Amino acid sequence: MLNKVILIGRLTDDPELRYTPSGTAVCNFTLAVERNFRNQNGEYDTDFIDIVVWRKQAENCANYLSKGRLAAAEGRLQIRSYENNEGQRRRVTEIVANSVQFLEYSNNNNNNNNQNNNQGQSSAEEDIDVPF
């Protein structure tokens, strides 16, 4: 049997990090994943998929991901049910990720890298001797 899911999308909100009573880290976030075909109105629909990450990877997601960031999640599809406070049975569909890849740098890192690159270029240009 095979139960494997790979998704690429943008976080709809900042990740939520919690710890179980035994101290295990668990992180939840939602990915907005655009479909690769157009609907009847000519627009792309978007699916909002809940992701659950455990242990060290959960802490990394909470520390380095934020709303709007592009990420890839690889894991398995899980469908579970529970009874809410009103006694109604609820079903939850989510991806339990065993790997999350951060697909872009944060804006702060990009700005710092661009500034450092620009500074390096201007100083290099000043050091060049032109023969004419």
Residue 75 burial by Cβ neighbours in a 10 Å radius (0-12, 13-18, 19+): buried
Look at residue 67 in the predicted model and tell me its pLDDT. Answer: 95
Give all domains of the chain, ordered by start, each with its CATH number: 5-127 (2.40.50.140)
Look at residue 104 in the predicted model and tell me its pLDDT. Answer: 83
Look at residue 126 in the predicted model and tell me its pLDDT. Answer: 45
Look at residue 112 in the predicted model and tell me its pLDDT. Answer: 45
- pLDDT, block means (10 residues), the chain with 132 residues: 96 97 97 93 94 97 95 97 93 96 72 45 45 47
123: region left, alpha or beta (phi > 0 left; psi from -120 to 50 alpha): alpha
Structure tokens at 115: 């500034």
Look at residue 120 in the predicted model and tell me its pLDDT. Answer: 44
Asked if residues 54 and 25 have their Cβ atoms less than 8 Å apart, the reply is yes
